[in-house]
Every structure is written in structure tokens, then in C-alpha cells.
Structure 1
Amino acid sequence: MSKLIIGSFKEFEQHLGQELGVSDYLKITQEQINKFADATLDHQWIHTDPERAATEGPFKHTIAHGYLTLSVAPYLWKQIAEIRNLKMMINYGIEKLKFNQPVLVDSEVRLKAQLHSLADLRGITKAQLNVTLEIKDNPKPAFTATLVFLYHFE
């Protein structure tokens, strides 16, 4: 599927209730996990100590922080849709977030997005996307959520 191009509220509106697409896969590495631990001050061994995780951990590997997996959603969303004619975009919120499955180190994840709702707030477009972060070769997703973006079109 090619990247969706959206340049206005009206163009967004044509996709209401539809699946918008799926991103490419992104590999979650130990280096990413370690950098995220440094940035968030969350150095729990299940994320940052591969040797201990292999012997004591329930998954036998380190796992990505749940919020690390969530933090790549905007990057993956940009692979699905290119929003043009913008003055500004705001990450407005996350609703109904549920972490369903841990993401093991070196797993590949991708985002699937569906346009749940759209509102015109005095010229500002509020888009609510139902998203699923899929894990390659795993039937259960890492998370499901509704991402809320505000788009200020020109």
C-alpha cells in the first residue's frame, strides 16, 4: 500500500471509518532500549540486563519498555500518511491504551491505523486514530490505543 496523502480536513474526511494503512516493520534493538532507559531513568533489569533476563526473566530476553513501543507510533504513523499543508501538528492525547504483549529485544513491530473519528474544532482538525502495534510473527499485538492528533491546516 502506498503512503496516504492528506492535505485538508475534507481529504481526511473521505477516509472516516476506514483502515488507513500499515507501516513498515521497525526492529527494536538493545541499544534503543538502553537509550530509552537512560532518557527515562528506568533501568529495570528486565529491560537493560540481557544476561540476567536470560536466566531470571520470564521471557528469557530483555523486553522493550511499553512506553518505548508507544513512543515510536508517531514515526510509524508518518510512514502510513503524509499530512500536508500544515501550520502545526500536536500530539493531543492517547485514549484506551492497553499493553497486550511484551516486545522482546530484536523483535520487529509495525503500526496499523484506522481513522476512528474526525472533528472540525473551529478550523483545527482533531483526528482520532485506532492503532495497533503488531509484532512480527506474533498473533497478539504489543498494544492497542486511540491516538489523538490536532492538525492546523493552512
Structure 2
Amino acid sequence: MEKTQIEGLAGLQALVGKELAPGDWHTLRFEDIERFADATGDHQWIHVDRERIARESPFGAPIAHGYYTLSRVAGLFLDAVEITGFSGVLNYGLNKVRYPAPLKEGATYRLVPMLAEVNEVKGGVEAIFKNTMEIQGESKPALVAECVFRFFA
């Protein structure tokens, strides 16, 4: 996959309202879910207890934690987009996060970024990217998140 190249303020402004090239597909493994559960201490049964999932889960398979899905955005974004012409960038926060569909073990997913807004702020530029995590073969995405980045001149 070829990254979307964005050069400076003019490059950002030229892409406002446009969907960028999607990133590569990745497959969710049970080991990914387990490692996230271990790192966060969140071992809720719907993620890690295969026996109970088989009996009680409406999803029929282990599902990723919502925060796991959200945490994948930064790395997947940097794999899909390269922004140059600034001295630095900070993850400034999130405006809105939704999980329309569960990301199940074995699912294949990718990030599709869209540059929603660019505003000048003191010392640089603030860009809002609407990031959608598509699930291959599913009509609803696993995640839609408005991520706010600050780029410094």
C-alpha cells in the first residue's frame, strides 16, 4: 500500500473533505485481545473467556475491547498517511468515538481516514481526521473516531 503524502498546510487544506487512501488490511488474533486484556487489566468474559462466549455471547466469538480498537488508530493512521512540513505533531484528543459493530476474532480490518477540517491555531494547525475502521465483508465499521491532531510550524 502506498501512503498518502501530505506536505504542509497547503497539502492539508487541499484534502479537506476528502477520503484518503485506506490502509492495509490486518487480521484480529485472539492473542491481540489477550495481550490488550493483560496490559489493561480488563479481562471481561466477552473478550477472553471462550467457554462463556460460546454459551452467552450474542457475537459468537471473542471481540476486541473498544479501547483496543481505538488504540489501533494511531499506528494504522501512520501506516496510511505521511505528513511533512511541520516540526512536530501531537495527538490533541478526540471529539467523537463510536463502535457501530464489534471487531471479532479473525476479522480483517483496515483504517480509512478522511480529513474533515483544518484550522489555524496559535503556533500551528489543528486537523480533524474522521477515521473509520472498516471490517471486511461487514456493512458497519468497527469504529468511527474524530481524531484531533496539532501540527507545529
Partner of 1:143: 143
TM-score scaled by length of structure 1: 0.92
Percent identical pairs in the alignment equals 37
Partner of 1:72: 72
Partner of 1:123: 123
Unpaired runs of 5+ in structure 1?
Answer: none
Partner of 2:81: 81
The answer to whether residue 17 in structure 2 is matched with residue 14 in structure 1 is: no
Query: Could you say what the CA RMSD is over the residues aligned between the two structures, in angstroms?
Result: 1.5
Of residues 102-111 and 77-86 in structure 1, the stretch that sits farther from structure 2 once superposed is 77-86
The answer to whether residue 62 in structure 2 is matched with residue 62 in structure 1 is: yes
Q: Deviations over 1:61-100 (max 9, x none)?
A: 1100011011101111112211224432211111121111
Unpaired runs of 5+ in structure 2?
Answer: none
Secondary structure at 1:43 match in 2: coil
Q: 1:11 Cα deviation (Å)?
A: 1.5
1:130·1:145 contact (CA, 8 Å) conserved in 2? yes
Secondary structure at 2:98 match in 1: strand
**Which amino acid in the other structure matches residue 139 of structure 1?**
S
1:18·1:114 contact (CA, 8 Å) conserved in 2? yes
TM-score scaled by length of structure 2: 0.92
Q: Cα–Cα, structure 1 residues 125 and 53, in superposed 2: closer, same or farther, change >3 Å?
A: same
Query: How many residues of Structure 1 are paired with residues of Structure 2 in the alignment?
Result: 153
The answer to whether residue 77 in structure 2 is matched with residue 93 in structure 1 is: no
1:9·1:120 contact (CA, 8 Å) conserved in 2? no
- Structure 1 runs of 4+ aligned residues shifted over 6 Å read none
Distance in 2 separating the partners of 1:54 and 1:17: 43
Partner of 2:110: 110
Distance in 2 separating the partners of 1:68 and 1:87: 29
Of residues 51-60 and 133-142 in structure 1, the stretch that sits farther from structure 2 once superposed is 51-60
Secondary structure at 1:21 match in 2: coil
